[in-house]
Amino acid sequence: MLRHSSVVSSQVELHARFGGVVPEIASRAHVELLTPVVARALVEAGISDDHVDAVGATVGPGLVGALLVGVSAAKALALVWDVPFIAVNHLEAHLYACFLEEPGIELPLVVLLVSGGHTMLVLMEGHGRYRLLGSTIDDAAGEAFDKVARYLGLGYPGGPAIDRLAGEGDSSAIAFPRAMRNEGLDFSFSGLKTAVVNEVRKHHDAVTADVAASFQEAVVDVLVTKARRAAREHGAKGLCLAGGVAANSQLRERFLDACVEDGLHGFLPSRAMCTDNAAMVAAAGLWRLRHDGPTPLDAGADPNLGLP
């Protein structure tokens, strides 16, 4: 019988007072938190360590220090428990979050993967077969949320803070630019960030909730417009959201509306499956294990790993 658990140990509070992730602190916290997290995962799954079939760990992309801690620990556990080690690509893991809750999703599928480090439109033609249709040429969508929130004094992480405040604001108050909205499938968000700064400098009396709502509206408009164009141009049967920004309330609502209008199957992983989590790493790892077999133990971490 398959037993499972997904334990997430967030470091948000540790980094919040610095306004963003501090790599050295992140690596050290990984060392401290990893053993208790593994122990808790076993308890919550109701198994002992001799019931574990394989150990998967993210090898990239990401911060190299944190990756090395996870990879070293996973290899050590795999050796001790005498089970396979599986290297997992973080981007592929976000894609597999879609299948965790909707195993029957039809392919080809277009996935809008929007996180703190990435903004991508991926055509999934088959399992393990991806085509990158578009990506950001500067900031990632989550990065734009974090930077704008920081500028507005809303703290870290910025996405959830803007999401909350935008609910109280008027999204049509300020017409922020929508860079590259009507051309191609690439994205650009750094001009929007500058536009927010300029707007607040010019209008000191601007209502912060209106700025947040108008900023969010501009990001969501571009994301949804491009995702549906990608699905149309590539004959996708469905459209799926993935990555931390996919937890955004307005993006979720607009995304589903667009899918209904375009007659596409729209898949929205739950918020917990959108932001970084263990279950998505296990899902991608299981597929890789079945497809490629175990990963050799001399494989290392790669901070700049791209989609397979």
d(CA 170, CA 152): 16
Cβ closest to ligand KG4, residue 117 vs residue 306: 117
Site for Zn ion in 106-125 (CB under 5 A): 115
74 binds ligand KG4 (CB under 6 A): no
Residue 159 touches which of ligand KG4, Zn ion, none (Cβ within 5-8 Å per kind) = ligand KG4
Residue 99 touches which of ligand KG4, Zn ion, none (Cβ within 5-8 Å per kind) = none
Q: Out of 245, 264, 281, 305, which residue is the one contacting ligand KG4 (CB under 6 A)?
A: 245
Q: Out of 134, 244, 266, 269, which residue is the one contacting ligand KG4 (CB under 6 A)?
A: 244
The residue among 243, 234, 236 whose CA lies nearest residue 119 is 243
CB of 79 to ligand KG4, least distance (A): 28
d(CA 219, CA 158): 14
222 binds ligand KG4 (CB under 6 A): no
Q: Dihedral sign, CA of 230, 234, 240, 241?
A: negative
Cβ closest to ligand KG4, residue 78 vs residue 243: 243
Cβ closest to ligand KG4, residue 159 vs residue 169: 159
Residue 238 touches which of Zn ion, ligand KG4, none (Cβ within 5-8 Å per kind) = none
CA-to-CA dists, residue 7 to 10, 190, 294, angstroms: 10, 34, 23
Residue 210 touches which of ligand KG4, Zn ion, none (Cβ within 5-8 Å per kind) = none
Cβ pair 136, 119 in contact under 8 A: yes
d(CA 307, CA 156): 28
d(CA 266, CA 278): 23
CA-to-CA dists, residue 23 to 15, 27, 30, 50, 150, angstroms: 10, 6, 11, 34, 18
Residue 104 CA, chain-centre distance (Å), reads 21
Cβ closest to ligand KG4, residue 121 vs residue 245: 245
Query: How many residues in the shown chain lie near ligand KG4 by CB under 6 A?
Result: 18
Site for ligand KG4 in 130-169 (CB under 6 A): 142, 145-146, 157-160, 163
Q: Dihedral sign, CA of 105, 111, 112, 116?
A: positive
Q: Which tokens belong to 307?
A: 């989609």
Residue 160 touches which of Zn ion, ligand KG4, none (Cβ within 5-8 Å per kind) = ligand KG4
Q: Out of 92, 139, 163, 276, which residue is the one contacting Zn ion (CB under 5 A)?
A: 276
- Residues 96-125, mask of contacts with ligand KG4 (x by CB under 6 A): -------------------xxx--------
248 binds ligand KG4 (CB under 6 A): yes
Cβ closest to ligand KG4, residue 41 vs residue 165: 165
Q: How far apart are the first and last CA of the chain?
A: 31
276 binds ligand KG4 (CB under 6 A): yes
Segments of the chain assigned E as strands? 55-60, 85-89, 109-114, 119-126, 129-135, 238-242, 265-267
For Zn ion, the binding residues (CB under 5 A) are: 115, 276
For ligand KG4, the binding residues (CB under 6 A) are: 115-117, 142, 145-146, 157-160, 163, 243-245, 247-248, 275-276
